[in-house]
Structure 1
Amino acid sequence: MNGIFAIYFHLLIGAVSPYKILVYNPFMLPSHVRFLDKLADVLADGGHDVTVLMPELDRDLAQSIKLKDSKRILRSKGDIRAYQLLKEEEKGTFNKVWTVSSPSPLSLLRVTRKLAKVLEWQCESKFVLPSRNLIFAVVNVTALINDDQLVQKLTEEKYDVAISEACFACGFGLFDLLNVSTTIAVESHTISGLLSEAIGEPSLLSFVPGVLSTAGDNMTVRDKLQNIISTTVYKFMYSYFFYKERAVFERKYGSFKDYNELIAETSYVFINANPYLDYPRPVLPKTVMIGGFAASKSEENTKLPQEWDSVLDARDHTVLVSFGSIFKSIDMPNDFKRGLLDTFASMPNVTFIWKYENPNALAASVSENVHLSTWVPQAQLLKDSRLSFFLTHGGLASTNEIAYAGKPAIVVPLIGDQTRNANMLARQGGALILHKRDLSDVKRLTDAFKEMLGKSRFVLVY
């Protein structure tokens, strides 16, 4: 997949030679940051001169994610108001995801207004401008949009290509100010209806599930209606985000291009999707699916740390349990935790590796076949033949890793595109889907686990 990505990139910019590339990648959500950072690493490792602008919306995330030093990084402390509001919203929304089935219209409107304010503030955040030859260096602190000197210096860099995730209108507004002729929009999930509309690509919601769809591609009339409604809500939310970000530019420069104009001018749209796994749909030539480009077969991605060998060798079967980096197992309702622990205890011949944020708080309650860890080498474990299956929330990064490794999974979707991802795996015969309420049902969990261990039909082959 790295090879396919490189071919498209070189076709885009011409001869195979180093180019100056600017990547806009705010610290906001872990999976999004890692996806753009990996893309920047691939380009830098290919010999290109890569600079990454990284506003620290989430300062905790900025401290926890390790970045390779193969590229120049322009970091900022960000707007303290944006950070505080983001953390407030995480406590109010992310921690409730285990118990709330779906947000009410009023709560969705409240979240939309708050996140729009976060994005507006981060567009005016402060940056650290590094010297030419240093990876991390402080030269001067300046405002991103409102500082003419910074914009002028970035303009003088004469970047050949600029890349941003499609959900950040601020990045594309900045690229327009810098007169970058070649821009690329990136989606860390499947293409959204708003992006499709901006580039003139049909969404075809009657049979293609949108980002927030709860059904697969074999839809009933009710499913189709839900698909249309959820896509419309998604477009409304992001249109409001983009409206607030555009206002930052208009306060400084007067009339400014809207989101659709900026995106329509992009040369390519890179989508975190795998054409062999995702739902079939018509795409434009400028839309390129690069899902799995980060799942290389390098030693870094396949070599399992030695300390995990004893865990995998302890029993005939081993199961990995992880719900990603945003939604924490420690925030689960107690009846969910109890359901999982009782199920684990009822299957003493199976080792369960559970990514749990505070093992000490749960240690007294677990049976001896449960291995708790604050961190797990997920990609390496999935590629190991001793791992039987994966219990996951169905984030797209995990979904791609599951498919790439050919590992069966039980998916418990929590929010966002995770139900779509779960249905995507299930239609290939690679997964069972459970509702999060099933986590408290020991019989339902036990039956699902035994079915997964005893059936060969769940093996994915790509």
Structure 2
Amino acid sequence: MVDLHCFSNGTVVDRTGVAVSCIRGQRYSGLFPFPAKSHMRIFAPLLLELADRGHHLTVYTPYPETVKHPNITDVAMVQIDYTEHKLPDLFAVRGPIAYVHSHCEMGISITDAFFQDPAIKQLLRNKNDNFDLMIIEAFFNEALLGFAHKFKVPVVEMSSVAGATWVYDWSLNPEPFSYVPNNYVPYGDKMNFLQRFHNAFISTYIRLWRKFYYLPEQEAIMRKYFKNFEDLPTIEYIENHVSLLFLNQHFSWATPRSFLPNVVPVGGLHIGLTKHKTLPKDLQKYMDEATDGVIYFSMGTHLPSSVMPESLRKTFLEAFSNFKQRFIWKINSDYIPSTCKNDTNLKVSEYLPQFDLLHHPNLKIFITHCGVSSLQEIMHVGIPIIVIPIFGDQVHNCKKLEQEGAAVILDYDHITVESVTSAIQEVLQPKYRENAQRLSRIFHDQPLSPLKTAVYWTEYVIRHKGAPHLRSAAADLNWFQYFLLDVISVLTLTIALIMYLLFTCLKVVYSKLGTTFEIYKTMKVD
């Protein structure tokens, strides 16, 4: 990686002393409309770091920064309730196809709602803003790419998740089904025949569903709101010409795979500016006095207390009573029996400083749903985990950790006192912590931090006018050419022609030889 130094006179020099163009003071537009604070938490560090480096950002989000930065103009969007937009009960949805259908339907509904927001309406009417670059969250909102055409600027897309099949399709990044599992299937990269068959089927189905149903719906939304642009290209064309794609993953927890130059993994980006703090006094005391250690249980915001059945809560409480370790459970205390609240080995609270808790030396195990943000905090600290995945990519997120001996996975639909007890007993073994620490060292062993990597490549796109040289030539091929079907067809026809000619020649030779043999027999008889 090249070290760039920007001097006060505006000159940027690399480590060899060669001057390159200065990229300070550029104008960025950030579009992060999805109403999930956990998403914005991932993107915010990059925006703040760019602002600190002298760039000016106009950021559209429902979650503006509470501490204002002089180089950031926050345009507050309405915090719409995405659960009202065709999103079914995620705990009733099972299977990769059902997940994709539910998310795509949500995306179609919620993207149309984005364009109803007063801030987005103003951006649509705006004819004066001249941005140098747009940074857009890539999460079921492809119609927003119309802004890239409106402002005629390079686009950097940021994915808050590791990246689904269609995310790689944007940059035409290769995705061999033989060893790259779709992020909706519960497999690692070492798949048997049936798993590879299932992975190939699911990935192909998702591609076809997206191309022939979902994308046309997003296309209709884009053309509805950008109807004044007669030269508006298709979403697929704009996707294939995106300058850069940031993925929220790293090979220490994701399956290793190849990436094109314009696909950059920056997993752990949000940890770059996060410093763990001292715990509140009561929590610090509770942790410090836990001589046998503490087990932390949190399902994030995806399984609120009101959704978890009472029978399941009782199952966990009964399992926890089998251990001498202390337990901290992130849950509304109203849903815990009053008799349990006086248990000195159980502390319940609806609000807990998770990142700070994970750093305490007495923490032994984290029981989690394995959302991507929690996963990265786990990798940062190196804590063994028990995973109860609920939906989406959560089971895929933890598969590598299970393979590496740093996690045990429990099936949410089949949780019993025995399974929880067995999982805790297993993960309390020292080897799980050792494996978690080993993976953490791998995660931290990077030439640049995820934040510095993201900043470097963002400014790289500006320095090189959209960096079209990073884009794969596959974007200029149709599907027939991409899969070499034209070459295969020509080769097949050529081989068939050669075989036909050879067969014809042999037939003629055989016929001639037969005639000669008959003449010879006649002459011999005479």
The reply to whether TM is greater than 0.5 is yes
Would the alpha carbon gap of residues 46 and 302 (structure 1) be closer, same or farther in structure 2, given more than 3 Å must change? Answer: farther
1:163 is displaced (CA, Å) by 0.7
CA positional deviation for 1:309:
0.7
Give the Cα separation in 2 of the matches to 1:235 and 1:311: 50
> Which AA in structure 1 matches 2:244?
Y
Q: Give 2:28's aligned residue.
A: 21
CA separation of 1:88 and 1:73: change in aligned 2, threshold 3 A: same
Is residue 2:178 matched to residue 1:202? no
Match of residue 336 from structure 2: 362
Specify the SS of the correspondent of 2:131. coil
Aligned to 1:40: 47
Aligned mates of 2:160, 2:58 — CA distance in 1? 19
Q: Is the 8 A contact 2:96 2:202 kept in 1?
A: no
Equivalent position amino acid for 2:112 in 1: E
CA distances 1:102-136 after superposition (whole Å, capped 9, x unpaired): 3875x9656643541221232343218xxxxxxxx
Partner of 1:310: 285
Q: For residue 424 of structure 2, give the secondary structure of its aligned residue in structure 1.
A: helix
Q: Does 1:170 align with 2:181?
A: no
SS of 2:269's partner is: coil
- Aligned equivalent of 2:328: 353
Alpha carbons of structure 1 residues 108 and 184: separation in structure 2 relative to 1, 3 Å:
closer
Say if 1:297 and 1:118 are closer, same or farther in 2 by CA, change over 3 A: closer
| Contact 2:96-2:184 at 8 Å conserved across structures | no
1:371 aligns to 2:347 (yes or no): yes
CA drift of 1:297 comes to 6.9
Unaligned residue ranges in structure 1 (runs of 5+)? 57-61, 129-141
Matched, 1:278 2:285: no
Q: Is the 8 A contact 2:370 2:395 kept in 1?
A: yes
Correspondence list, 1:52-451, <5 A? 52-54=59-61, 56=62, 67-70=66-69, 71-77=72-78, 83=80, 86-87=83-84, 89=86, 92-94=88-90, 97=91, 101-102=94-95, 109=101, 112-127=104-119, 142-145=121-124, 148=125, 150=126, 152-153=127-128, 156=129, 158-167=130-139, 168-180=141-153, 182-235=154-207, 239=211, 240-251=213-224, 252-253=227-228, 254=230, 256-296=232-272, 300-315=275-290, 316-347=292-323, 349-356=324-331, 358-366=332-340, 367-439=343-415, 441-451=416-426
Distance 2:163 2:103 in 1: 22
Contact 1:22–1:159 under 8 Å retained in 2 = yes
Kept in 2: contact 1:37–1:67 (CA 8 A): no
The letter of the residue matching 1:332 is: M
What residue in structure 1 maps to residue 522 of structure 2?
none
Q: String of CA shifts for 1:331-350, please: whole Å, max 9, x gaps.
A: 11222111111111222x21
Residue 297 of structure 2 contacts residue 327 of structure 2 at CA under 8 Å; is this kept in 1?
yes
**Unaligned runs of at least 5 residues, structure 2:** 7-12, 15-19, 442-526
Tell me which residue corresponds to 2:485.
none
Question: 2:23 & 2:276 partners in 1: Cα distance?
Answer: 27
State whether residues 279 and 424 of structure 1, in contact with CA within 8 Å, keep that contact through their aligned partners in structure 2. yes
Contact 1:22 1:163 in 2 (8 A): yes
Q: Name the SS for the 1:341 alignment partner.
A: helix
Per-residue deviation, 1:36:
2.2
Secondary structure, counterpart of 1:50 in structure 2:
strand
More off after superposition, 107-116 vs 29-38: 107-116
1:27-56 deviation per Cα after TM superposition (whole angstroms, max 9, x unaligned): 3233323222333223223332122112x5
Letter of the structure 2 residue corresponding to residue 45 of structure 1 = D
- Secondary structure, aligned partner of 1:42: helix
Asked whether the equivalents of residues 25 and 37 of structure 1 are also in contact (C-alpha less than 8 Å), the reply is: no
Indicate how the Cα distance of structure 1 residues 114 and 279 shifts in structure 2: closer, same or farther if over 3 A, else same.
Answer: closer
SS in structure 2 of the partner of residue 18 of structure 1:
coil
Normalising by the residue count of structure 1, what TM-score does the alignment of the two structures yield? 0.81
In structure 1, how many angstroms separate the alpha carbons of the residues matched to 2:293 and 2:327? Answer: 9
Query: Cα distance 1:194–1:102, how it changes in 2: closer, same or farther (>3 A)?
Result: closer
CA distance in 2, matches of 1:410, 1:18: 46
- Total equivalences in the alignment: 414
Any conservation in 2 of the 1:30–1:325 contact (CA below 8 Å)? Answer: no
Name the CA distance, whole Å, in 1 between partners of 2:174 and 2:58. Answer: 33
Q: Cα offset for 1:247?
A: 1.9
Q: CA, structure 1 residues 344+243, in 2 after alignment: closer, same or farther (shift >3 Å)? A: same
2:37 to 30, 33, 37: 30
Question: 2:45·2:273 contact (CA, 8 Å) conserved in 1?
Answer: no
Amino acid paired to 1:164: I
**Structure 1 pair 241/144, CA: closer, same or farther in 2 (3 Å)?**
farther
Quote the RMSD (CA, aligned, Å): 3.0
SS of the residue corresponding to residue 456 of structure 1 reads helix
Mapped contact 1:127–1:143 kept (Cα < 8 A): yes
Letter in 1 for 2:420: L
Rounded to whole Å, the distance in 2 between the matches of 1:258 and 1:453 is 53
Go from structure 1 to structure 2 and tell me whether the alpha carbon gap of 1:19 and 1:297 turns closer, same or farther (over 3 Å shift). closer
Q: Is 1:112–1:237's contact at 8 Å kept on the other side of the alignment?
A: no
1:286-323 CA distances to partner (integer Å, 9 max, x unpaired)?
A: 1111101221375x335434442112123221011111
Range with greater deviation from structure 2 (426-435 or 409-418): 426-435
3-state SS of paired residue (1:127): helix
Cα distance between partner residues in 1 of 2:431 and 2:177:
33
The answer for the alignment partner of 2:56 in structure 1 is 49
| Residue 200 (structure 1) shift | 1.6
Q: Matched residue of 2:264: which SS?
A: strand
What is the TM-score of this pair, normalised by structure 2? 0.72
Are the counterparts in 1 of residues 42 and 269 from structure 2 also a CA contact under 8 Å? no
User: Does structure 1 retain, via aligned residues, the 8 Å contact 2:86–2:105?
Assistant: no
